[in-house]
Structures are given as C-alpha cells and as structure tokens.
Amino acid sequence: MDKKYIIASVAIVAAIIGGLALVFSGSSAEAEPLTKLTEADVEAIARSQEQLGDKSLVESLAVPEAKQAFLKGMKEHLALAAAAKEEGLDDDPLFKVNRDYKVDRLLADLYEAKLGHNPENPFKISKEEIDRVFAESGNAAAFKRDMDALQQIQNDVNAKMGTGIQPGILAGEGLERAKKSWARAKVLSDRAKADTEFMESQEVKLRVNVLVAGLLSSDLLRKHWSERIRATDREITEFIAKRPEYDLKRKWQKADEVLKRALAGESFNKLVTEFSEHRPTKTTGGLIENIIAGDNPGPVENALLAATPGKVLPQVVESDLGRHVLMLVKRTEKQRNDGRVVTEYSYRQILFQNKFEQPGVNDPEIPPPFMTAEEIARMLIEREKRDRLVAEYMAKSKIEVPGEAPAASE
C-alpha cells in the first residue's frame, strides 16, 4: 500500500478543516456543529476540493487505509469542535472575527472555481478595483481589524505553544499584497453571498461547517496547551536520559570509530554511504569540489588548508554542523581573471550532525528533517499528551463517520 496517500489524507484534513488560506472578514457565519458525516458528505467534500484544483483527496479516498486516516482526522476535529462550543469558545470575539475572515476566504475560493477560474487562470483584481474596495465605507477599518486579529492570534499561539513564529509587520510590498488579497476575497465573497443557489448548496454549507469546526478544534487545543500539553524542561530531560539513541556522546564516539577505520585504509566511499549524515553528498562519496579558500571560513576549511592531499585528516573536526571525518582530495593555486591568486580545494567528508533524524516520517519521497534531541523530545512528548487530551474528548463524543456503528446513546 502506498504510504503517500495516507500522508496526503492527513494533510488534506488540515487543509480542509483548518483553512490553509488566509482569511477574510465580512460574513456572519453561524454554522451549526456537525455531529455526523455521511458517505455523501465525504464525496461532496472531495468534489469541492477537486473543483479547487486539488485531486489528492479523490485519489486518497480510493485507498481504504488513506480513507480511514482521513475519516479519523475529520472525526477528531469535529469532536473537538463540539467540545469547544460546550466550553463557550465560539462566543469569544476574537474567534468570531477569525471565523468570518476565514469563511469569506473559503467562499471566495469556492466561488472563483464556480466562475471557471483555476490555479492556472486565477480571478484577477485590478489596482482600480482594490482602491474602490477600500474606498467603500467600513472596509479599511475591517481590513485593519482582521490584520490585528491575526497578529493577536499568532501572539497567543507563541505564548501558549512556544512556536517562536513571529507575525510579520505589514508594510511596503507586504501590505500591498495583503490588501490585494483581502480585496479579492471581499469582491468574490460578496458575489457568492448574493448568489442564493450557491449559498444554499450542500457542498458550500458543508465546507463552511467543516471549516468552522476546524477553527474551534484549534482554539480548544490552544486553550489547554500550556496546562495539559506543553512539555516541561523536566519531561524533556527525563525523555532524553531514557533514550541513548539521542545521546550526542554516542554519536561522537561513532565518529571517532569511523575515523580510525578510515585511517586504517577502509574505503572512504563505503564509510560515507554507511555513516554520513550529509544528504547532498552521501551518494557521491562525500565529495565537495572547487571551494575557494575564504568563501567558507571556519574550522573545516582551516583543517583542510593545512592537510596533505590524498590523506585522511588524523583528527575529527568539529563545526557548527557537528563533527567531520575529512579527506583532502586536492588543493591548488589559481589565478583569477582579476589577477588575484586564490587557493582552491576539494575534499570528501563524513558528517555526523549534532542533530538527529525526526522519527516517524514515513514519506519515501521526503527524507525526515534533522532536529536536536530537545526538539525531538518536545515534539514526541507533546504529541503523546495531545493524543491523551483528544482521547478524553473523543470518549465523550457522539460524532459519527462512515464505516462506524452509531454512537450508543446514554
């Protein structure tokens, strides 16, 4: 079974339910909470997504395991959304601004597709139309309200979840792009809301409901993140202490062992293939060619400029990336067009990064990123704590999705 469809299904849930696009104000989207998804609902969501130029959901739903992953994600978000309403999060003024903002963007995208536009032929709005939108009463204030709300939400995310992502200050070209995007959504969503047949269609109502559920579920998790999910320093320290695979000392010992093997004459290419964590050169014998001295200053270059060509350096070299087992291939003096004489060198390396591959990444086409032990610990701890919290809400949920028996009534 192709794992890419399961991965795609998880991503599609995030896109559909979270509204990956930025969001826009205008409508008052009072959506009733969804308690049940039928097979017809799932097909309608897939059709709607395909109309937006994304066929991945249609393809994923044809794979049983991927469809199951999609439904599991949808059920989770809908259950969290129901709990969020019970906790009164839908009454929060900031939520209402964000909800209306994102619903209008969704309506704009869906109506753009109805008008026959697609990613290759998008709806275009002129500078004159943008100016006209902002000249209309209340729109400039609404734009500022929406931008302020986005920044406030991001600040809250940073404070509770420690993402480190800082919202950019809108100015210059960034401000003009935001205004153009806002005006586009305003024009299209106004047209959509004036089209009664469009607004009453099952697919549009369903997509709005699902989007609002996604916003509520996100707000619920953010509300409880600091107290119930965020990893503490003690938890991170204990996690790493129990997992020697995330001990850098062991990795540095391995680097020393590989150096001894290289000095003893073992094939450098073979050692690169087996041990190097520098992906761009892992299949080319670790070769990095034609570096001009001074262009890449640091301990690696310093060591190579003092080395003997054709020889493995007798010591592991430490840099900001980690530790390197090095072999100087050649070093020459060259005269450049401007008359300057420069030193050019090529070398092979076996890199042991001061980070570790992120566990649990199963996409065969995208290698896992490297993370510090602390980052991995935080990610896994918070994932486990989040799953426990979600399980608590799911145990109380009456949400139904296709392929499951109806929830028992109390």
* Start-to-end CA span in the chain (Å): 39
Model confidence at 337, pLDDT cuts 50, 70, 90, reads: confident
Average pLDDT over every residue of 347-364: 88
Residues 368-403: tens digit of each pLDDT? 899 999 999 999 999 999 999 999 999 999 888 887
| Over residues 328-356, mean pLDDT | 93
Q: Which amino acid is at 120?
A: E
Distance in angstroms (rounded) separating the CA atoms of residues 240 and 246: 6
Whether the predicted pLDDT of 180 surpasses 90: yes
Cα–Cα distance measured from residue 345 to residue 391, given in angstroms and rounded to the nearest whole number? 57
Mean pLDDT of 328-345: 91
Q: What is the Rg, in whole angstroms, of the alpha carbon atoms belonging to the chain?
A: 27
Alpha-carbon span 66 to 7, nearest angstrom: 8
pLDDT band at 365 (very low <50, low <70, confident <90, very high): confident
Q: Does the pLDDT of residue 27 top 70, yes or no?
A: no
Query: Are the beta carbons of 326 and 337 closer than 8 angstroms?
Result: no
CB atoms within 10 A of CB 99: 26
35 residue type, one letter = T
Residue 1 has pLDDT above 70, yes or no: no
Query: Is the confidence at residue 408, as pLDDT, over 60?
Result: no
The predicted pLDDT at position 62 comes to 87
Instruction: Name beta bridge partners: 292.
Output: 344
Banded model confidence at residue 50, pLDDT cuts 50, 70, 90: confident
Calculate the CA 400 to chain-centre distance: 28
What confidence tens digit (pLDDT) does each residue in 244-277 have? 999 999 999 999 999 999 999 999 999 999 999 9
Average pLDDT over residues 174-203: 94
pLDDT digits (tens, 9 = 90+) for 277-293: 999 999 999 999 999 99
pLDDT at 18: 53
pLDDT in tens, 88-124: 999 999 999 999 999 999 999 999 999 988 777 888 8
CA-to-CA distance for 69 and 324, rounded, in angstroms?
41
> C-alpha distances in angstroms, 357 versus 132, 181, 233?
51, 37, 21
Q: What whole-number percentage of the chain has pLDDT above 90?
A: 64
